Chain A
Amino acid sequence: MIMTSKPRRKLKGQFFLIAGLLLALMFFAGLPTAGTLVQTPVAADLKYAYENIEYEFARALNLGLNESDQIDTLKNFTVFMTNSLSTRSIALDTLWAVSEGNTSSMINVTVGNFLASAVNVTLNLTDAGGTHTITYMDVPKDSANWTEFHSVTSDFNLTLAFNDDSGTVEWERDKVNIYALVNMTRGETIKKEQFSF
């Protein structure tokens, strides 16, 4: 009977393997120094931001009404919203109108410009008595203009036009109403919406 034994393999690559493993670990350990990455998906973020704006503008207006300072509150909140969204790289441009009945047939309509620059705004108020047109020239950014309309019937239409944009809403005279045209941009993604309460 012939006994054979396998020749014992010499270990000779282990130090190279250990060195390679250490170098690979050093590579992975160095990755965190690349900086923090805050991940927020673009399109979804704009959708959630818009939902937030739509809900909260009405709420800000109500809180302002409780303090009899509705327009300044809404102006202040629009600036806050714009600044907060800008930290998430979202540019918010909005133009809003608020109407509030003063006496039985008189209303105040305030237009706030929170677009990127000054703008000409045309306001058409149409009721059973006809159409009243007001044009505000060069309304500065982050400011508001207002007009008092007399002898307005209980229901009326309001059309807001600026640059190439316009929108019409049907409102009741004896309640506080808000209408906003909202444009949000993040990179190349744009979301354009409007709402009215």
Chain B
Amino acid sequence: MRGFWYIIESVLVSLMVISFLLFIGSFYSGNIGSENLAEKGHNILQSLDERGELRNHTVALDNGGLNELIPVYSYNHTVQICDYSGSCTGQRPNATRIWTASYIISGDDRYQPFEIRLYFFPFDVSA
């Protein structure tokens, strides 16, 4: 019976130690607040649009090319381009923590609406 309590005790201690390490680790992994990431994502897409680099990649369904233009290095990111019918080019990452920014355009030189979704997720997860 004493062995059972030893196990419970060591489980609790391990949980505390691992939680503490994860908590400390989150400060060193360049973690940005979710509010900042959403704002950052929106501002990045908006500035790409203002520089004339967003719409041509979008209507060409070049999600990879668009992703290369995202200047974020402390987080992994992918771009998804969705059309009027709801079908999307690009993958949504299979991660537990995702921050998403979305930008809707009506077209480039002709009417052709698309939604651009920019996903941020931690480096330890593949897209």
A interface residues (Cβ-Cβ under 8 A, vs B): 13, 16-17, 19-21, 23-25, 27-28, 31-32, 34-41, 44-45, 48-49, 51-53, 56, 59-60, 63-64, 66-67, 69, 73, 76-77, 80-81, 83-84, 88
Contact = CB atoms under 8 A, between A and B. Distances in A.
B18 A24 contact: yes
Contacts of B8: 20
B36 to A, nearest CB: 9
B116 to A, nearest CB: 10
Nearest to A88: B102
Contacts of A39: 34, 97-100
B38 interface: yes
Given A16-B6, A21-B10, A23-B7, A64 B111 contact: yes
B107 A63 contact: yes
Given A20-B8, A27-B15, A36-B98, 8 more contacts: A13-B6, A24-B18, A36-B94, A36-B95, A38-B98, A44-B39, A52-B104, A53-B104
30 contacts: A17-B10, A21-B10, A23-B11, A25-B14, A34-B96, A36-B95, A36-B98, A37-B96, A38-B98, A39-B99, A40-B38, A40-B99, A40-B100, A41-B38, A52-B102, A52-B104, A56-B105, A59-B105, A60-B111, A63-B110, A64-B111, A66-B110, A67-B111, A69-B111, A73-B106, A73-B111, A81-B104, A84-B82, A84-B115, A88-B100
